[in-house]
């Protein structure tokens, strides 16, 4: 599983590095061409022309190991009617 640990871009027009640190943190660069949003939950970018023309992506990811365990059946204990 891939986890976002940094959601950031650098604008190629004004040179600003902007980072979204939480899911509702919408940040726009100094010249207004690029924006980031989504924090560590998802990556959202706004730009004018194209990602290649407008910004350098500085996002970082971490690979998280996941294990699958069986779930305990909470309904296993049934009420007995007298």
Binding site for Zn ion (CB under 5 A): 11, 13-14, 29, 31, 33
Cβ nearer to Zn ion, comparing 17 with 22? 17
Across 43-59, b (16+ Cβ under 10 Å) vs e yields bebebeeeeeebbeeee
Q: State which residue has the least CB distance to Zn ion.
A: 11
Tell me the closest approach of the beta carbon of residue 21 to Zn ion, in angstroms.
19
Q: Which of 16/41 has CB closer to Zn ion?
A: 16
Of residues 11 and 36, the one with the C-beta less far from Zn ion: 11
The two three-digit tokens of residue 34, written as one number: 């690029």
Residue in this structure with the two tokens 């959202």, named with its chain if needed: 44
């Amino acid at each position: 599983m891939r986890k976002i640990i940094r959601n950031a871009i650098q604008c190629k027009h004004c040179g600003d590095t902007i980072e979204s640190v939480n899911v509702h943190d919408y940040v726009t660069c100094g010249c207004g061409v690029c924006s980031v949003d989504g924090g560590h939950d998802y990556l959202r970018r706004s730009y004018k022309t194209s990602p290649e023309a407008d910004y350098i992506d500085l996002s970082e990811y971490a690979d998280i190991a996941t294990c699958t365990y069986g779930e305990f059946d909470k309904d296993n204990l049934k009420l007995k009617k007298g």
